[in-house]
Amino acid sequence: MITIGLADDEPLFTAGLSMILDSQGDMSVLWEAVDGADAVRRHDRRAPGILLLDIQMPGLDGLAATRQLVAASTSSRIIILTTFDTDEHVLAAVEAGAAGFLVKNTPPEELLAAIRTVHAGDAVISPGPTRRLFASLRRAAPPGTPTAAAGMPTEAAGAPAGARDGVDLTPRERDILALVARGRSNQEICEDLWLSMPTVKTHIGNLLAKTGSRDRVHLVLFALRTGAATLEDALETRRAD
């Protein structure tokens, strides 16, 4: 059962969302909070598997609550659900440790699928905010360095991906990292590299551990920072979606 906590300062929104979630056989809403501080208090008493947090709430907002919970090593997976999908909000959510970023007009079936995906350990960002995230990184790259992201310089020429950050990746892990950055699913990676699913999952787990990444979104950012993939690769893949 996927247990869920909701935080939004619009009671009608949380009430409607709660009805949709509770109608699912594999989901149960534990509580509804009116702001970030209320969500943190309720979380400390009853931590859900998934937290759906609005960004703009009075007092402690969703991003500040996310930072506070992640710093406290919460076991809950956090999804930011908001009307605002500006560049700074998407980047801030990823940096704060959110495993998902969805706009409030996301169709119910897509929201439910996203919750299940995040609960399974992966990350989800709505298509629009995903394009904003990578486009903002490309705009922030210094002139003449198309593979660099904001604050993420490219690797020295000839250095393997991961070496610049002192991360020792095997050649196979570097291959898989590059494919993850291009938006390939585990099944597609199996087909591209002629590997079994257990082998791919093992490599993905090793990559997450070695790079200190929370999920595939952070693996993509690591790949961009270390030169395993270019921003053009990531943007082109997501435009094709």
For the domain 151-240, what is the CATH code? 1.10.10.10
Strand order in the sheet with 50-53: 27-33, 2-7, 50-53, 77-82, 100-103, 124-125
Let me know if 166 is exposed, middle or buried by CB neighbors in 10 A (0-12, 13-18, 19+): exposed
Residue 6 near residue 33 (C-beta atoms within 8 A): yes
Evaluate if residue 79 carries a pLDDT over 60.
yes
Which among 132, 131, 154 is positioned nearest to 230, based on CA atoms? 154
User: What are the pLDDT digits (tens) for 176-228?
Assistant: 988 887 777 788 889 999 999 999 999 998 998 998 887 777 787 788 777 77
Tokens of 142: 């210094």
Q: What is the pTM of this model?
A: 0.66
pLDDT tens column, 29-52: 999 999 999 999 999 999 999 999
User: Is 2-130 CATH 3.40.50.720?
Assistant: no
Alpha-carbon separation of residue 170 from 29, 34, 102, 166 (angstroms): 42, 47, 34, 13
Residues facing 50 on adjacent strands: 4, 77
Which residues, other chains included, contact 239 with Cβ-Cβ below 8 Å and sequence gap of 6+?
131
Domain boundaries, the chain: 2-130, 151-240
Greater pLDDT, 204 or 145: 204
pLDDT tens digits along 99-114: 888 888 888 998 999 8
Provide the residue count of the chain. Answer: 241
Question: Exposed, middle or buried: residue 104 (CB in 10 Å: 0-12, 13-18, 19+)?
Answer: middle
pLDDT in tens, 183-197: 777 888 899 999 999
139 has pLDDT over 50: yes
Q: Residue 108 is which amino acid? A: P
